[in-house]
Structure 1
Amino acid sequence: MYKLLWIMLMSVVWMVMHALQTDEEMAMHALYQGKHAVNRAAHAAAQQLDPAQLAEGHLYIEEEAAAEAAVHYLQQNMELDENGDPLPGSYFQEGVELLAVDVINDGVSFPYLYRNNLYDYEVTLDKPGVVVIIGLKYPRVFSVLPPIEWTIKGTAELVGG
């Protein structure tokens, strides 16, 4: 009789451990999707050149257009509404917070060391570029566990010039 109870207890433990592992794998999938979306947003933002400056031979990224492109790409790639909340059917369950969109233009000397101490990010840019930082939260399956929170960072710089 005690062996039967032991087997039932171990089955419950095994199922809980399996559910925790599955939850962890789903969280990693959310992180990868978020990182890919941030990279795409940074690349899209870095493409927003000022045509007047370009006509004069200067690579200059329009800051407002870059921020709009980054937000648009995040919304499209992460299936978010205009407030950063997930749309129905989105993989994400919590809203995404856009923490920073920083444009580095030719007003600095390159190579330029970009530092953001608030989000513990440092990158060296050889040309004008854009840095995008978001906050992403993944709620756990088991409500007794706290949600996983990430600060996802991405950078893109211009290729030409």
Structure 2
Amino acid sequence: MYKLLLILLMSMLWLSAHAAQADEERAVRMLFEAKHAVNRAAHAAAQQLDEEELAEGRFDIDKARAEAAAAIYLQENLFLDGEGRPAAGSRLKAAVVVEAWEVIGREHSFPYVYRDSRFDYEVTLDRPGVVLIVRIEHPRLFSVMEPIIWHVKGTAQLVLP
């Protein structure tokens, strides 16, 4: 009888460990997807040329178009609605929040060192670029565990022809 009880307890322990491993794998997959989405959004934003500056022979980023492009890329890649909340088909359950958004344009001297001590982030830009830091909350499989919160960072520079 005690062996049957031991087998049942060991099975429960094995199933719990397996479920925790599956939850960890799901979280890592979501982190990779989020990192790719943020990188794509930053890159798309950095390629939005200011046409008035370009007409004068200077390369700079149009801030309004850059922000719109980044928002569209985040929405499409993370399956979000227009306000950053998860839409149907999204793996996320909580809204995605842009914690830091910076367009570094011609008004800065290059190379420019961007620092944000809140997120322990530093990057050097050699030409105009974009910095994007997004807060993503990943729900856990077990409701007794706290969700995982990431600050996903992305930076891109203007690609010159």
**Normalised by the size of structure 2, how large is the TM-score?**
0.96
Q: Distance in 2 between matches of 1:134 and 1:32?
A: 13
Q: CA deviation at 1:118?
A: 2.1
Tell me, yes or no, if the aligned pair for 2:114 and 2:123 is still in contact at 8 Å: yes
- 1:129 and 2:119 correspond: no
How do 1:71-82 and structure 2 match up within 5 A? Answer: 71-82=71-82
| Deviates further, 129-138 or 48-57 | 48-57
Residue 111 (structure 1) aligns with: 111
Q: Secondary structure at the match of 1:100?
A: strand
Q: Distance in 2 between matches of 1:7 and 1:118?
A: 49
How do 1:53-64 and structure 2 match up within 5 A? Answer: 53-64=53-64
Residue 156 (structure 2) aligns with: 156
Q: Distance in 1 between matches of 2:58 and 2:76?
A: 30
**Normalised by the size of structure 1, how large is the TM-score?**
0.96
Residue 11 (structure 1) aligns with: 11
Show structure 1 runs of 5+ residues with no match.
none
| Alignment RMSD (CA, Å) | 1.1
Q: Distance in 2 between matches of 1:6 and 1:35?
A: 43
Show structure 2 runs of 5+ residues with no match.
none
Residue 48 (structure 1) aligns with: 48
Q: CA deviation at 1:111?
A: 1.1
Q: CA deviation at 1:94?
A: 1.6
Query: Runs of 4 or more off by more than 4 Å in structure 1?
Result: none
Q: Secondary structure at the match of 2:23?
A: helix
Letter in 2 for 1:152: V
Residue 39 (structure 1) aligns with: 39
Q: Distance in 2 between matches of 1:125 and 1:75?
A: 26
Identical counterparts, % of pairs:
55
Letter in 1 for 2:142: F
Residue 89 (structure 2) aligns with: 89
